[in-house]
Amino acid sequence: MKKLKLILILIAGLSFEIQAQELDVNLQIRPRFEYRNGYKQLLQEGQKGTSQISQRSRLNFNYKQEDLIVKLTLQNTRTWGDVPSTAAADKNGVAVFEAWAQYNFTEKWSARMGRQVLSYDNQRILGEMDWAQQAQSHDALTFTYQTEKQKLDFGGAYNSTAENVLQTPYTVANYKALQYAWYHNQFTESLGASFLLLNTGYEYANADAKLLVDYKQTFGPYLTYKTSKIDTNFWLYGQTGKSTDLKVSAWNAAINFNYNLTDSFKAGLGYEFLSGKASNDGSTVIKSFNPIFGTNHGFNGYMDYFYVGNHLNNVGLQDAFIKLNYNVNKWQFALIPHVFLSAADVVTPLNEKLDSYLGTEIDATFGYNFKKDITVTGGYSQMFGSKTMEFIKNGDAGHTNNWAWLMISVNPRIFTYKK
């Protein structure tokens, strides 16, 4: 360890001029056990659940020298046992999660380029997806203008499969191009408002095998009001443009209200509507809202039945829920019951209209701050699905559909240097 620290000090000190420098190096080791018994979808008759342990391992380098800031994050994600104990190589290898450089031109203006996280407001549209072991980051160029009460971020990305010399189809499951702008104004200590405009372009080949890019726009405000007792937010996003030559017309709205009954106990309720398309709607218009790059695990139930790689171009969703939080000493507890309904009509091939009620999910979680760099979290969830959920998810609502998890996160700072 002493030799490692000496090497890092030498690296940090390599400069032709004597300048203020800071280097911080930290680790994250995060294994998570999951019991999946109807997770993301209802189990079908004869199917059995499963269990596994996944793990994220990260090494973070944070460097600052006057107006220059650099970050490098290396990570490996794995499932325990996905390679033999004598394997010569890892299945996923080591990936670069973040690798960016930021230059502060003035106290107000800065620019950042490279692999980076784009995360705004409550992460409904753009988020880090930290629950997923691999998380989410983008190759982008971004600019920031910031004052005491206002902040403007804007930037973009342009993606290719490789360093090609001829036009080559972009085959990665990702956007071809992206542009966005986000503005926030903190009007008072309690009241804040943001507006997001996101333009995403996805490449496709038309009937003549010509490569085209259609752009879809997602836009809208996000409002917050917070006091010592009240914590509430509201958002309204529209979605328009085109996707694979189809018109897009969708929207999403939600309101959440939380109240601190005591220093330890908080109660809240909320409702979210994500537009959908009736199953007997024969139009070509895409009416189902897509949260795109949101941290969707944090919304609409922790069992991930909706919008976590699923439920796209479907009947949409209504989610009404209550959230109860209790914190005492090093412990945190939460209980969140959800009632789910479709946002558009669910109609069978026999033209039978089904009830809009999809099911009820109960989420219970806990957290424990074991010591400074170690936290333990876990939870249990159960889905009580309906016949309509069976029709949409092709499973058995009569089966016990539940999910349990336990995660340990170890985050030690292994080195820090400042001169």
Confidence of residue 1 (pLDDT cuts 50, 70, 90): low
Q: Which two tokens stand for residue 51?
A: 């269990």
Average pLDDT of 386-394?
93
Is residue 364 within 8 Å of residue 332, measured between CB atoms? Answer: no
pLDDT of residue 46: 87
**For residue 370, how many other CB atoms are within 10 A of its CB?**
13
pLDDT at residue 2, rounded to an integer? 55
CA–CA distance from 6 to each of 1, 218, 418 (Å)? 9, 49, 14
Cα–Cα distance, 333 to 34 (Å, whole number): 19
**Which amino acid, 34?**
E
**In this predicted model, what pLDDT tens digit does every residue of 151-183 receive, in sequence order?**
999 999 999 999 999 999 999 999 999 999 999
Residue 14 pLDDT greater than 70, yes or no: no
- Domains of the chain: residue spans and CATH: 2-418 (2.40.160.100)
Tokens of 246: 């189809």
Q: What is the mean pLDDT of the chain?
A: 94
Q: What is the pLDDT of residues 187-206, one digit of tens each?
A: 999 999 999 999 999 999 99
pLDDT of residue 15: 47
224-235 exposure pattern, b = at least 16 Cβ within 10 A, e = fewer = beeeeeebbbeb
Strands 346-347 and 331-341: unpaired
Q: Which of 370, 369, 343, 375 is nearest to 358 (CA)?
A: 343
Query: What does the alpha-carbon distance between residue 306 and residue 293 come to, in Å, rounded to a whole number?
Result: 14
Instruction: Specify burial of residue 125 (Cβ count, 10 A radius: 0-12, 13-18, 19+).
Output: buried
Would you tell me how many other CB atoms lie within 10 Å of the CB of residue 75? 20
Instruction: Give pLDDT, residue 16.
Output: 42
By the 10 Å C-beta count (0-12 exposed, 13-18 middle, 19+ buried), 382 is classed as: middle
Higher pLDDT, 218 or 393: 218
Instruction: Give the pLDDT of residue 45.
Output: 87
At 5, is the pLDDT very low, low, confident or very high (cuts 50, 70, 90)?
low
- Residue 197 tokens read as 């405009």
What does the pLDDT read at residue 419? 85
Q: Is 350 helix (H, G, I), strand (E, B) or coil?
A: coil
* Segment (H or E) for 43: none
- The pLDDT tens digits for 219-272 are 999 999 999 999 999 999 999 999 999 999 999 999 999 999 999 999 999 999
Close Cβ partners of 237 (under 8 Å, ≥ 6 residues apart): 124, 125, 196, 218, 219, 220, 251, 252, 253, 289
The span from the CA of 298 to the CA of 233, in Å, is 15
Amino acid 341: pLDDT = 98
- Cβ neighbors of 35 (< 8 A, separation 6 or more) are 49, 50, 51, 402, 403, 404, 405
Quickly list DSSP for 65-122. Answer: ETTEEEEEEEEEEEETTSS-TT-SS-SS--EEEEEEEEEESSSSEEEEEEEE----TT
pLDDT confidence bin for 11, thresholds 50/70/90: low
* pLDDT(113) > 80: yes
Q: Long-range contact list for 9-14, CB < 8 A, 24+ apart?
A: 9/417, 12/63, 12/417, 12/419, 13/419
* φ and ψ of 227, to 5 deg: -130, -170
For residue 13, the model assigns a pLDDT of: 54
Q: What is the pLDDT of residues 323-362, one digit of tens each?
A: 999 999 999 999 999 999 999 999 999 999 999 999 999 9
Residues 6+ apart with CB under 8 A from 258: 230, 231, 232, 266, 267, 268, 323
**Average pLDDT estimate for 89-112:** 96
How confident is the model over 300-316, as pLDDT tens digits?
A: 999 999 999 999 999 99
How many other β-carbons are positioned within 10 Å of the β-carbon of residue 321? 21
Pairing status of strand 246-260 against strand 331-341: unpaired
Looking at residue 233, its pLDDT comes to 98
Residue 4: pLDDT above 70?
A: no
Residue 147 vs residues 64, 110, 347: alpha-carbon distances, Å: 21, 12, 52
20 confidence band (pLDDT: 50, 70, 90): confident
Is the predicted pLDDT of residue 18 greater than 80, yes or no?
no
Tokens at 155, concatenated:
């930037």
